[in-house]
Amino acid sequence: MISSAAAPSNGTVAAAAPAAAPAAAATSAGGSLRQQLAAAFQMAIDTAFPAMAGEPAIVVACNQPKFGDYQCNNAMALHGKMKGKPDAPKAPRMVAEAILAQLPDTGMVSETSLAGPGFINIRLSKDFLADRLTNMLREGISSWAPRGFAGKRVIVDFSSPNVAKEMHVGHLRSTIIGDTIARALEFCGADVLRLNHIGDWGTQFGMLIQYMAEKRPGGLNAATDEDVADLQLLYRAAKARFDDEEEFKARAREAVTLLQGGNPEYQQAWQRICDASRREFQKIYNRLGVTLTERGESFYNPMLKPVVDDLMERGVAEESEGAKCVFVEGAQIPLIVQKSDGGFGYASTDMAAVKHRIHEEKADWIIYVTDMGQATHFDLVFAGAKKAGYFPEGRTVRIDHVGFGLVLGDDGKKFRSRSGDVVRLVELLDEAKSRIVTTVKERRPDASEEEIEEASMAMGYGAVKYADLKNHRTTNYKFSYDDMLSMNGNTAVYQLYAHARITSIVRKSGRDMDELVQTARVRLGHEKEVALALHIARFSEAVEDMLDDLLPHRITEYLYDLSTVFNQFYTECQVVGSPEEESRLLLCEATARTMRACFHLLGIHVPKCRI
C-alpha cells in the first residue's frame, strides 16, 4: 500500500505539464486517484531510469493544497540509490525533471510544479474530476473500489462471545470493528468469510453441566429450554464450587470427559446451552445489522490431538515440565499446545484454526479482532504457525491481530452499570435508541410510529457504532450517551441529519435525479465546487487507507470532512435556481451517495423516512 505521509511542498517552481488529453480517457481506469497517479508515475520512473525499474512510485495527498492536490516523492530516494553510478543525475531535482519528462499523458493532470529538493506537486484536471464524478453517478460508487483486493479470500475472526454468558459492552468493539473491516473488504471485491469463534467448549462446560445435574430437580433432563440469564447465575455458582471443592472439581472433569466422549445426556444439555446463547447473540446481531458464520472452539476440537502429535513428531513442539510446547525465538514464554494434564487450551485451538484457515479455507489474509490484552498470545500463535510451516511456500498469506482498547465509564474505569455489573450490550443499545426518540419526535411531529421506530433505531444504534469507530481502535474511550447522541460535532446523528439536508435540496428542486444523472454532466468552475469534487473523489483512498492500517476511523474522518467541505460549498454556491443548477444538483447527489457508502461501511442504517 502507499504511505499516507506527505513531504513538505513549500517553495514551488513551475514545471511543464503534459498536454491535456480528453479527461474521459482516464476516468474509466479502476482504483483510487492515488493508485492511478502512482501507475502513471511508475511508468515515468521505469522509462526515465531503467536501472531503477520496479522502484514503487510514492504518490500522496499534498499537505498544502495551495501547491497541488498530490505529490510524488521519489526523487530524493532515487538520487541516493543512483549516486556514484555512471550518468547518474547530479541532484534530486534533476531526477524529478527526468520523471516529469517521461510522465505519460493520461488526462488526469493539469499542471505540475517542483518544490524543495525534488518533490513533484500535481494538480488534477478539473475536467478529469468532473468526468470522474459524472461516471460514478452513472456506474455506481463500487466502480471506485481500490484495486488489489478483488478475489482475495479473507477470513475475519470477530465478536467471539462465550456460550452461557450474555454479551456485554466488552464485545461491542470486536463486533463493530470486525464488521466494518469485513464490509470494506466486501466493497473491494474480496471473498470474505466472517467467522464467529465462540467459546463453546472446554472444562467450563463440564463444570456447568455437572452443577446443573446435581442442583436441578430432575437433573439434566428437567429443562427443555435454557435461559442465558439463569445460565450465568448457574455458571457463577458452579465456578465457586469448582474453585473450593476438590470432589466437585473431580466430578466436573469427569463430566468433560463424558461430554467430549459423546455421552447423549451431556451432549443434549450442552446443545441446549449453546442454543440459548445463540438466541441471545442473535438479538444483538439483529440490532447491529451484523452477519456471522459460527465456527466455535468445538469445531476445531477433533483437530487438536492430530495437530499436537504432528508438531511433536516433526520436532516443532517439545515436552517441558510435562506440557507440550512450541518455543519461539525471542519469546520469553512458550506456546503451550497441550497442558501437563493432557488438556488443550486456547493455544491448541488457535494453532489448529490457523492451519485449517490456511490449508482448508485457502485464506490469503486472516484477521483476528480482539482486545489489546491478547496481542502477546496472538504474536506467539503466529510465530508458532510460522515455525510449524503452516504458511505455504509460493503463496503469500497475510495475518493480522487487530487489537483495540477499553470502553470506559465517566470514572475512567471499565464501563459498568450503576450496580457495578458489566453492562449488557442489548440494554446499552436499547437505551441509546430510547434516548433519541424525543429528538426524532421534535423534528418530525407528523411522523408515524413506524417512522419514529425506524429513525430511532438507525440513529440510536448508529450513534453507538460511530462513537466507537471514530476513535483510533487502540485507544480507550469514554462511553457517553450525551456525546454520542449530540446533533452537533462528529457524531452519527449529525452525519445522518447532514445527509438528510442534502437529499432535501435535491428533493425540493423537483428534478428527476435518475434522468438528470443520465443526461447532465458535472461542470467545475467555483473553487468550492472543485474542492468538493476532489474530496468526493478521494473516497476510495479513505477505504484504501482503512484497509492498509485496519483503522476504521479513517472512514469516519473522511465522512466528517466530507460534511464540512459540502457545507463550505453550499454556503458559497447557490444550487437551485442558479445557472449551474444541474451540475450542482449532481454534486449534491454525488455527496449523498458517497455519504451512504460511508454509512454502509460503518454498518449504519440510513432511514428511508424523512428525519
Count of domains in the chain? 4
Rounded CA separation 176/603 (Å): 8
The reply to whether 400 falls in a domain is: yes
Domain holding 36: CATH number? 3.30.1360.70
pLDDT of residue 223: 60
Q: Which of 79, 109, 124 is the last residue of a domain?
A: 124
pLDDT grade for 222, boundaries at 50, 70 and 90: low
For the entire predicted model, the pTM comes to 0.91
pLDDT grade for 232, boundaries at 50, 70 and 90: confident
Average pLDDT over residues 465-470: 98
210 shares its domain with 300: no
Of residues 165 and 323, the one with the higher pLDDT is: 323
The reply to whether 160 falls in a domain is: no
Instruction: Give Cβ neighbours of residue 218 (< 8 Å, ≥ 6 apart).
Output: none
Rounded CA separation 544/546 (Å): 5
Say if residues 60 and 108 touch (Cβ distance below 8 Å). no
Rounded CA separation 153/189 (Å): 10
319 shares its domain with 273: no
- pLDDT higher than threshold 80 for residue 16: no
The reply to whether 321 falls in a domain is: yes
pLDDT of residue 17: 36
- pLDDT higher than threshold 70 for residue 403: yes
Length of the chain: 611
The reply to whether 150 falls in a domain is: no
Helices (H) and strands (E) in the chain, counts: 22, 15
Of residues 404 and 29, the one with the higher pLDDT is: 404
pLDDT of residue 216: 80
448 shares its domain with 591: yes
Q: Measured at the alpha carbon of residue 144, what is the angle toward residues 138 and 145, in degrees to the nearest 5?
A: 135
Pick the range with the lowest mean pLDDT from 355-359, 402-406, 424-428.
Answer: 424-428
Q: What is the pLDDT of residues 417-465, one digit of tens each?
A: 666 677 789 889 999 999 999 999 999 999 999 999 999 999 999 999 9
pLDDT of residue 127: 97
- DSSP-H helix ranges across 263-371: 264-288, 297-313, 346-359
- pLDDT higher than threshold 70 for residue 8: no
Q: Report the share of the chain in percent with pLDDT over 90.
A: 80
- 241 lies in which domain range? 203-288
304 shares its domain with 376: yes
Average pLDDT over residues 47-71: 94
The reply to whether 149 falls in a domain is: no
pLDDT of residue 422: 72
Rounded CA separation 100/22 (Å): 19
269 shares its domain with 399: no
The reply to whether 187 falls in a domain is: no
pLDDT of residue 202: 85
Q: What is the pLDDT of residues 538-580, one digit of tens each?
A: 999 999 999 999 999 999 999 999 999 999 999 999 999 999 9
Q: Which of 266, 288, 310 is the last residue of a domain?
A: 288
Instruction: Give Cβ neighbours of residue 100 (< 8 Å, ≥ 6 apart).
Output: 15, 16, 44, 112, 120
C-alpha cell at 325: 510446547
pLDDT grade for 18, boundaries at 50, 70 and 90: very low
491 shares its domain with 579: yes
Domain holding 387: CATH number? 3.40.50
352 shares its domain with 221: no
